[in-house]
Amino acid sequence: MPQSADNVIDHEMLFREPEYQELFRNKKEQFEFNHSDARVQEIRDWTKTEDYKEQNFAREALTINPAKACQPLGAVYVANGFQGTLPFVHGSQGCVAYYRSHFSRHFKEPTSCVSSSMTEDAAVFGGLNNMIDGLANAYNLYKPEMIAVSTTCMAEVIGDDLDAFIKNAKQKGSIPEDFDVPFSHTPAFVGSHVTGYDNALLGVLKHFWDGKAKTTEPLVRVPNDSINFIGGFDGFVVGNMPEIRRIFDMFEVDYTMLCDPSAVWNTPTDGEFRMYDGGTTKEEVERALHAKATIVFQEYSSEKTIKYLQEKGQEVVVLNAPVGVAGTDQFVMALSRLTGKPVPQQLELERGRLVDAIADSQAHLHGKRYALYGDPDQMLGYTQFLLELGAEPAHVLSTNGGKDWAEKVQALFDASPFGKGCKVYPKRDLWHMRSLLFTEPVDFMIGNTYGKYLERDTGTPLIRLVFPIFDRHHYHRFPTWGYEGGMRLLVMLLDEYFEALDANTNVPGQTDYSFDIIR
Amino acid sequence: MSVTTEEQKAANKALIDEVLKAYPEKTAKKRTKHLGTYEGGKPDCGVKSNIKSLPGVMTIRGCAYAGSKGVVWGPIKDMIHISHGPVGCGQYSWGSRRNYYIGTTGVDTFVTMQFTSDFQEKDIVFGGDKKLDKIIDEIQQLFPLNKGISVQSECPIGLIGDDIEAVSKKKSKQYDGHTIVPVRCEGFRGVSQSLGHHIANDAIRDWVFEGDTRKEHEFESTPYDVAIIGDYNIGGDAWSSRILLEEIGLRVIAQWSGDGTIAELENTPKAKLNVLHCYRSMNYISRHMEEKYGIPWVEYNFFGPTMIEKSLREIASHFDDTIKANAEKVIARYRPMVDAVIARYKPRLDAKKVMLFVGGLRPRHVIGAYEDLGMEVVGTGYEFGHNDDYQRTTHYIKDGTLIYDDVTGYEFERFVEKVQPDLVGSGIKEKYVFQKMGVPFRQMHSWDYSGPYHGYDGFAIFARDMDMAINSPVWSLTKAPWRQAA
């Protein structure tokens, strides 16, 4: 009997006890009717080969372990970035349970969101009644200042018309006529969560700038000197948004953060649950029209929004999640140019400290090979950072990055001697990555929690710098953007390097001559 | 200060009335039927259940796909389960249920992988059958050791008129009778996960038991053959249950479906008795096996020593005296460990009040385990229970217990605020809401990444976990000292 009151053993060790090991053995031998161990080993070895990789890369229909989610997830993210806003997803209710769980597992925070709970009858007759009742219920129960509507694939397949439905609901008295309900169609079978971010943000901007779905006069742009910032879908938003604000504050510039969920996913435990906290206000959204320029930090999260902003007459500075020294320089210089102000001394100091840290440590990262996967912009930013450290981003993969993204990554490779021999993989998944890690091994991998399966199978140490991160806590609280964020990224890379080095040199009397206390 | 049952009932009624005021009239009228107080001696809990959730209220429920892929099929380890449709459903449910298993993932075992047809617009417009056909080819090529494939339909499949049954039959024939199971678990079907369980059970009946693809496995029956039904091996629950059944001399020929194989499913009709843990999700197949193969089934409860002892005796009663005697021996053998666990934790947990809101069997099944530790469950409700669940619940709860079916975010928050339990047991979506409020919380779907909670080994962990939740020093820190009343 392994368990005792004095020493309660968890699952980790409990099932290694002889009683359970015997149980597993018997179950396998008598009842499972598995393939033989030899056959399993044979296939396992085959999956590591060039031959397997070729067949794996020839896949045309099957996706295995993708690194992307669906549009409405991005839409729910966006709704969370506006003050007092309740995300409302029109369609099947199970989807909403999934978005809420997904975000809560990453941020370790509540995520409020309602569904219109469409079922079979709505599939036949449309979801109008669900919209009418849903808006009334949500409005009365959760007292939002605004409800941001998006759609699941069910509502999209049957072709529900959000604009008409919302107007109809207002006529039926579900919500006041002048209550703000920006909306966006976010079909799960188009693009990914970053597309959903784009559509939902565009929905909010259009609502406020273009006359609230033809119910008021469109706003007239009167350009001023303020600057907008759009961050894009970002798993580190809780740390990044305050950092970006700090940088804007240093420039002493008038600015507007469009979509900032960093407060609602960072509320205190003090006895009160805050369903809403922080976020961009309606007034700020309206004011943002007049900005002279918008900095879009992640292009692929805002492709349609960028065009819309340009049509409005704003200058749009489009970035690809630039991080590290040169990346942050790009952002900071854009800010300096737009404001006509010199880069603040404090920022220059922070830059110098990051360069100092890199100079101290670069020898450990020089020439190290990395595999990385994630959202397209983030991959561009990380690739650039690795190259400036003298490391090699050997495999850069994105499930939701396309051909033009791949060209941008290639351009980064081409601009650096460390990019030679590095390869970019658009529209690929983590099962492709698995083959790559076997046939062309690297030293480290940068990815999300799902990368731990690759770490287990291939022995490549994983650095968790991509959404979602479920199995490590609080990473999202620290910035990865700005020079300060660059410091965090550097330390993450170094920590993993040193951990791996120590783990590889700790056998007493055999390898521990290299078990140095000074590195 | 103790409250009488009548006072409790009056307080519950006032609370429910208060909460209902927030709703529009039409909605309040519907919600009122789902909220109530258990009247001792009544045959059910006095609430309506298994009815559509209302739009916009923040139901905690999921969908049929979650019930089929997430619960019933997903844990079957040597099959590949395709999330058929857009990418999201498979992504959000990937590896999140902690269905433990032994096997080489990606080679002969596939539970913690996300296979999806990743539907694009053209698949919606032109249909996805051809893509599915090709996907099955690619699976057969890259995963030659898979023992079967299931097609888990997401919403669009049923809406665009795809014929996944025809594709499955065709490909099964092409691959020499390979098991390929189409499952019509589109998320819009039914009112919750529950219909997904039913559809998944029916698919096993029609495509595993009845289909042309059923395989025969060399098998010698014994009089002591049982199958564990409705244990998904969350954190190893089925293992810490199986070990007890084996200890009393039974032979567990199958696990449904945690750590289970397709061969185990196929062999189950040879069992002498099906032992059913999660009634809600697998009563259908148990009833089917009873009708078709004459296999009796018995419900059991392996949460906490009181229920474990009762269940071991109940299960043993279906067998000969040797097994009955063994059951007593096993109960006696574990008693000192259990007593020590209770001696250690009961003083720290005695009289603590618990509110539950979970799915499946847990809103009733775990109550005994809490009571073994001296705790009291003052409120409970089912995410997707039916009336037969609420009937069964009456055997567990006290007169005056607050009952909430398909509770909404708003209701749950108000109830907890007012009742002020010492612990809430619910899911990930609820966890942080209540912790912010300063209320200790344990996830009772995933065991908050702990477990197992089943069996004697699990009870020790359960007791330790409840203690660490309730008696954590952090709860004394939620109010800043300068905010605390003098």
Bridge partner residues of B404 (DSSP): B35
Percent of chain B with pLDDT over 90: 98
Q: How confident is the model at residue B486 (pLDDT cuts 50, 70, 90)?
A: low
pLDDT at A183 over 90: yes
pLDDT in tens, A160-178: 999 999 999 999 999 999 9
Q: Measure Cα distances from B305 to A14, B339, B346, B455, B475 in Å.
A: 19, 9, 13, 8, 29
Q: How confident is the model at residue A440 (pLDDT cuts 50, 70, 90)?
A: very high
pTM attached to this predicted model: 0.98
A49 CB neighbour count, 10 Å cutoff: 13
The H-assigned helical ranges of B161-216 are 164-174, 193-204
Name every chain B residue with its beta carbon within 8 A of the beta carbon of A457. Answer: 105-106
The bridge status of strand A114-115 relative to strand A85-90 is parallel
CA gap A245, A243 in Å, rounded: 5
Q: Please tell me the distance in Å from B410's CA to the nearest CA on chain A.
A: 7
Instruction: Decide: helix, strand or coil at residue B252.
Output: strand
DSSP-based helix, strand, coil % in chain B, nearest 5: 50, 15, 40
**Nearest Cβ partner of A43 from B107, B121, B191?**
B107
CA gap B279, B395 in Å, rounded: 15
Name every chain A residue with its beta carbon within 8 A of the beta carbon of B113. Answer: 64-65, 453
Q: What is the DSSP string of B435-460?
A: HHTT--EEESSSGGG----SHHHHHH
The bridge status of strand A63-64 relative to strand B115-116 is antiparallel
- Does the distance separating the beta carbons of A97 and B58 come in below 8 Å? no
Q: Please tell me the distance in Å from B311's CA to the nearest CA on chain A.
A: 20
Q: Please tell me the distance in Å from A134's CA to the nearest CA on chain B.
A: 4
CA angle A2–A8–A12, rounded 5-degree value: 75
Going by C-alpha positions, the residue among A157, A480, A474, A451 that lies closest to residue A328 is: A480
- Does the distance separating the beta carbons of A47 and B436 come in below 8 Å? no
Buried/exposed B166-193: b ≥16 CB within 10 Å, e otherwise: ebbbebbeebeebbbbbbbbbbbbbbbb
pLDDT at A480 over 90: yes
pLDDT in tens, A330-387: 999 999 999 999 999 999 999 999 999 999 999 999 999 999 999 999 999 999 999 9
Asked if residues B56 and A137 have their Cβ atoms less than 8 Å apart, the reply is: yes
- Single out the catalytic residue among B34, B97, B184, B242: B97
pLDDT in tens, B337-384: 999 999 999 999 999 999 999 999 999 999 999 999 999 999 999 999
Which H, E and C letters describe B361-377, residue by residue? CHHHHCHHHHHHCCCEE
ipTM of the complex: 0.98
CA gap A315, A340 in Å, rounded: 14
B63 is catalytic: yes
- Does the distance separating the beta carbons of B344 and A32 come in below 8 Å? no
**Nearest Cβ partner of A114 from B57, B102, B341?**
B57
Matching residue, tokens 């539950």: B356
- Single out the catalytic residue among A70, A114, A153, A332: A153
- Does the distance separating the beta carbons of A142 and B263 come in below 8 Å? no
Q: What mean pLDDT value characterizes chain B?
A: 97
Asked if residues A421 and A392 have their Cβ atoms less than 8 Å apart, the reply is: yes
A157 is catalytic: yes
Asked if residues B70 and B435 have their Cβ atoms less than 8 Å apart, the reply is: no
Going by C-alpha positions, the residue among A207, A143, A204, A133 that lies closest to residue A172 is: A133
Amino acid at residue number B482: W
- Does the distance separating the beta carbons of A187 and B121 come in below 8 Å? yes
CA gap A375, A232 in Å, rounded: 11
- Single out the catalytic residue among B45, B63, B64, B254: B63
DSSP-based helix, strand, coil % in chain A, nearest 5: 50, 10, 35
pLDDT at B69 over 70: yes
Going by C-alpha positions, the residue among A285, A303, A150, A267 that lies closest to residue A212 is: A285
Q: What mean pLDDT value characterizes chain A?
A: 98
Asked if residues A12 and B468 have their Cβ atoms less than 8 Å apart, the reply is: no
The confidence score (pLDDT) of residue A318 equals 98
The confidence score (pLDDT) of residue A187 equals 98
Q: Please tell me the distance in Å from B42's CA to the nearest CA on chain A.
A: 32
Name every chain A residue with its beta carbon within 8 A of the beta carbon of B433. Answer: 110, 273
The bridge status of strand A315-318 relative to strand A369-373 is unpaired
Classify burial at A344, counting beta carbons within 10 Å of its beta carbon; exposed 0-12, middle 13-18, buried 19 or more: middle
The confidence score (pLDDT) of residue A16 equals 98
Length of chain A: 519
B97 is catalytic: yes
Name every chain B residue with its beta carbon within 8 A of the beta carbon of A181. Answer: none
Q: Please tell me the distance in Å from B437's CA to the nearest CA on chain A.
A: 4
Q: What is the mean pLDDT of the segment spanning B156-177?
A: 98
Q: Please tell me the distance in Å from B290's CA to the nearest CA on chain A.
A: 21
CA angle A457–B255–B406, rounded 5-degree value: 95
- Does the distance separating the beta carbons of A109 and B432 come in below 8 Å? yes
Size of interface A-B (CB pairs under 8 A): 351
Side-by-side strand order, sheet with A293-296: A255-258, A227-230, A293-296, A315-318
Asked if residues B174 and B187 have their Cβ atoms less than 8 Å apart, the reply is: no
**Nearest Cβ partner of B87 from A69, A95, A131?**
A69
Asked if residues A28 and B104 have their Cβ atoms less than 8 Å apart, the reply is: no
Quick one: DSSP state of residue B70?
I
Amino acid at residue number B308: I
Q: How confident is the model at residue B91 (pLDDT cuts 50, 70, 90)?
A: very high
Name every chain B residue with its beta carbon within 8 A of the beta carbon of A123. Answer: 158-159, 188
The confidence score (pLDDT) of residue B236 equals 98
The bridge status of strand A444-447 relative to strand B149-153 is unpaired
Round the CA-based radius of gyration of chain A to a whole number and report it: 25
Q: What is the mean pLDDT of the segment spanning A403-431?
A: 98
pLDDT in tens, A87-106: 999 999 999 999 999 999 99
Interface test with A, best of B53, B89, B188 (most A CBs within 10 A): B188
The confidence score (pLDDT) of residue B485 equals 67
Round the CA-based radius of gyration of chain B to a whole number and report it: 23
CA gap A135, A129 in Å, rounded: 10
pLDDT in tens, B228-242: 999 999 999 999 999
CA A209, A214, A215, A216 torsion-angle sign: positive
The confidence score (pLDDT) of residue B1 equals 53
- Single out the catalytic residue among B34, B45, B64, B66: B66
pLDDT at B187 over 90: yes
pLDDT in tens, B112-139: 999 999 999 999 999 999 999 999 999 9
Q: What is the mean pLDDT of the segment spanning A411-433?
A: 98
Name every chain A residue with its beta carbon within 8 A of the beta carbon of B105. Answer: 453, 457
pLDDT in tens, B253-276: 999 999 999 999 999 999 999 999
Asked if residues B377 and B397 have their Cβ atoms less than 8 Å apart, the reply is: yes
Q: What is the mean pLDDT of the segment spanning B150-167?
A: 98
Name every chain A residue with its beta carbon within 8 A of the beta carbon of B434. Answer: 273
Q: What is the mean pLDDT of the segment spanning B9-23?
A: 98
Q: What is the DSSP string of B20-53?
A: HTTS-HHHHHHHGGGEEE--TT-SS-S---S-PP
Name every chain A residue with its beta carbon within 8 A of the beta carbon of B179. Answer: none
The confidence score (pLDDT) of residue A407 equals 98
Asked if residues B442 and B423 have their Cβ atoms less than 8 Å apart, the reply is: yes
pLDDT at B2 over 90: no
Q: Please tell me the distance in Å from A417's CA to the nearest CA on chain B.
A: 36
- Does the distance separating the beta carbons of B189 and A272 come in below 8 Å? no
Percent of chain A with pLDDT over 90: 100
**Long-range contacts, A54-58 (Cβ 8 Å, 24+):** A55/B141, A55/B142, A56/A431, A56/A432, A56/A435, A56/B142, A57/A428, A57/A432, A57/A435
Q: What is the mean pLDDT of the segment spanning A247-262?
A: 98
- Does the distance separating the beta carbons of B104 and A44 come in below 8 Å? yes
CA angle A286–A292–A296, rounded 5-degree value: 80
